[in-house]
Amino acid sequence: GEAGSRGRMEGNSTAGSFSPSQQFSVADLVVIVTYFSLNLAVGIWSSCRVNRNTVSGYFLAGRDMAWWPIGASLFASSEGSGLFIGLAGTGAAGGIAVTGFEWNATYALLALAWVFVPVYISSGIVTMPEYLQRRFGGERIRMYLSGLSLLLSIFTKISTDLYSGALFVQVCLGWDLYLSTVLMLLVTGLYTIAGGLAAVIYTDALQTVIMVLGAIMLAVRAFDAIGGYSNLEEAYLKAVPSKIVPNTTCHLPRADAMHLFRDPISGDLPWTGMTFGLSIMATWYWCTDQVIVQRSLSARNLSHAKAGSILASYLKMLPLFVIIMPGMISRVLFPDAVACVDPEECTHVCGAAVGCSNIAYPKLVVELMPSGLRGLMIAVMMAALMSSLTSIFNSCSTLFTMDIWRRMRPGASERELLLVGRVMTVLLVALSVVWIPILQSSSGGQLYIYIQAVTSYLAPPVTAVFILAVFWPRANEQGAFWGLMAGLALGLARMGLELAHPTPHCGVPDRRPWLLADLHYLHFAALLCATTGAVVVGGSLMTPPPPSERVSRTRRHPGTSQGYPQLFTCMHHPCSMDALCLSFPLVSCPYNHCLSVPGSCPAASGSQQTTEGLPALRDTTESPFWTRVCSINAIVLLCINIFCYAYFA
């Protein structure tokens, strides 16, 4: 209709060439200011509710979280601004197959609540590197996992969030991409100081409500603009830009755009990779990543952790309808901008020669949302970006300072540690900004595919080690360490090849090595995980087994912590360093050795008072009624998930 013809008329103008005044009204500004004020108010209120002067209060929100903020926070943590931009962009470029990345999360989230969280609770841990150290002993695996978390944060989290937020500002306000990036960083710094990190889960819950409502409104307007869902496939297949590269087919939409399962050899997202490779990456992200697991560990009890996972899984069913399909509609309405293939034209539209599918979602917001609601969507994007950046910056500087720097300089003063933490944050930001041009040109300009590809080179070895640590008592430290090293070497080799041989532009013959051209990154993830697993098993069988007491105390004991009262007392001592000294670099604690020597804790006599009110990390008992309710809900969720897969396959 009218929106479509307007889109085609404006399709050739650059993404940032609209005059901001025409796009940005007083109503939008009022909405943005109101939204940020509300966010701040929620942040300050929730900070005051929880006592942040104890480890559990600061790091695990007092271990008193109900299921609904946990579920909302799990969803919001995974759907940052990078995912809005990335999912819609990949939908615009290739259709609905990318939905598999969202729907596969259901199985990983249920595994988190039913398998992994009980084990973590029984082990009495707070961080993931700490779990592997407890399970295997030794320092080197903990050091390695901390270092890897830093690498993955720079390559897949900070840089993509920064880039997508800046791209949003560029499309909506017409500002330069790098100016926008610097501005985003300044505002994020202020936001961190004002909001405080204890507030993250509640502000996430607020963001989720507004993100989902805003995305639903935009989706309704988008479907309305093309005449409804029934017209989507036909309109999408006709969405071809006016300027094409002669004698090529890369300007044509994929014929299998509306299919979830694609050819295992020629498909852009082969169903074999989406089933096996993706499950490995999902297990890493949902079951072993600090940012995610931390939210589940803050639950009141195991039933709340399970219900949180179920809620997050239901929310993860939405992106197909509210992000990916609107991305496809954006291509229909603005084919010359979103679907451009000519490198000169693309550089003119969005500054990236490889393609402009990433602007699909912001373009839709700018063109279809009425003033006021447009401001709300921009505020949601900025806030989603900032909340994810603040928690990533905090956990990264923490990991580096406490796990790496303190090992290198055991005698470092508290002042030095704080200074190193701040310098590390600045360095992370600088590295991430430098990485943006590489990110712009990789993976055919599709941000989401870039995130998944880098993850598939670095994360599968961690998945293999965690799965064997939980399920195979015979796995030991030597096997796990050398498995991780072998996996890292293979992953970095593939990543180096990818950087040396980027995806060719439209019309340029593909002369990349077969390892890149013929082995899809999702298939590579499955092979990498299997190889790592084989090395861990081989290495463990060739060396002595781990001590049985070490294994028994890091496995699930139904209902109780099985005779480790001292361990838990020490761990929850307000100034215990080992539980997460990271939260308290200012406190020098006399009890920081008590975890490595069970039973040596000076506070053990007060066992009852200290552990009072801390059921979430002390035991895994549940009421039979709520266990049944959660299990029935999980079965219903699985049925819905399988039905949707079958319908769109």
What domains, with CATH codes, occur in the chain?
2-404+416-554+619-648 (1.20.1730.10), 565-617 (no CATH)
pTM above 0.75, yes or no: yes
Q: Which tokens go with 455? A: 């993850």
End-to-end CA distance of the chain: 30
Q: Specify whether the CB–CB gap between 483 and 536 falls below 8 A.
A: yes
Residues of the chain with pLDDT under 50: 1-22, 52-53, 55, 58, 195-197, 559-618
Between CA 525 and CA 608 the distance in angstroms is 47
Identify the DSSP state of 241: -
CA distances from 39 to 59, 195, 202, 207, 394 (A): 20, 8, 9, 8, 19
User: What is the phi/psi pair of residue 587, to 5°?
Assistant: -100, 125
Angle in degrees, CA 104, 105, 108, rounded to 5 = 105
Q: Is 509 helix (H, G, I), strand (E, B) or coil?
A: coil
Q: Is 65 helix (H, G, I), strand (E, B) or coil?
A: strand
Instruction: Say what the pLDDT of residue 188 is.
Output: 65
Between CA 643 and CA 266 the distance in angstroms is 26
DSSP string, 132-189: HHHHH-SSHHHHHHHHHHHHHIIIIIIHHHHHHHHHHHHHHH---HHHHHHHHHHHHH
CB-based burial, 197-218: b 16+ in 10 Å, e otherwise: bbbbbbbbbbbbebbbebbebb
CA 84 to chain centre: 12
Q: Specify whether the CB–CB gap between 4 and 364 falls below 8 A.
A: no
CA distances from 502 to 5, 477, 495, 511 (A): 35, 37, 11, 10
Instruction: Say what the pLDDT of residue 512 is.
Output: 82
Between CA 331 and CA 239 the distance in angstroms is 6
